Amino acid sequence: MLNKKITELLNSQINKEFYSSYLYLDMSNYYFESNLNGFGKWFAIQAQEEYEHAMLFLKYILNSSEKVELNDIVSPNKHYTDFKQPLEGSMEHEIYITTAINHIFDEAYSLKDFKTVQFLEWFVKEQGEEEKNADDLLKRFEMFGTDPRGLYLLDAELGTRVFKSPSIKVK
């Protein structure tokens, strides 16, 4: 059994992860509509990853004999006017998610809920990677994105990304 506060925070994180998936799907659609299919594919895979993260939180709650509470997922409803805006939004969003996961970790640790702490350790590491990926992509766009040939090559490279299911397993 989990502490009530931890259960609430984990349920809230499910919603944040599903929203992340929607947000990245929205960014993916923007790039596909702009004929930047590599960027579109990169963000479509990012959307898949976020969906998988939500499912890991969901399974953890169920495996802890607690109730999963699914809330409404707000539409991202973003309107981009240039190719850099989704990249900046992605970076901001990853920082937000890192802060949320760190908050749950801190609460679990203070309650000596070491099972949840152990579960969250993978997400803490994952968020470091997510922030680095978002930052690297933004910096690479800033270097090459204003040059049509550079943008073309970056788009082609991003199109090679493949989906890898998370390495953490929750039974």
Distance of CA 55 to the CA centre of its chain: 12
**What is the overall mean pLDDT for the chain?**
95
pLDDT score for 165: 80
Neighbours of 110 (CB within 10 A): 10
Spatial CA neighbour of 126 closest among 15, 8, 38, 17: 17
CA distance 99 to 158: 27
Which tens digit of pLDDT belongs to each residue from 52-73? Answer: 999 999 999 999 999 999 999 9
Distance of CA 89 to the CA centre of its chain: 12
CA distance 47 to 111: 32
pLDDT level of residue 171 (50, 70, 90 thresholds): low
pTM over 0.85, yes/no: yes
Which tens digit of pLDDT belongs to each residue from 113-164? Answer: 999 999 999 999 999 999 999 999 999 999 998 899 999 999 999 999 998 8
The answer to whether the CB of 54 falls within 8 A of the CB of 21 is: yes
- To the nearest 10°, report the CA torsion of 61, 67, 72, 75: 10
CA distance 127 to 12: 17
Q: Interhelix angle for 148-158 vs 114-144, to 10°? A: 150
Which tens digit of pLDDT belongs to each residue from 12-40? Answer: 999 999 999 999 999 999 999 999 999 99
- The domains located in the chain, with CATH, are 4-72+80-158 (1.20.1260.10)
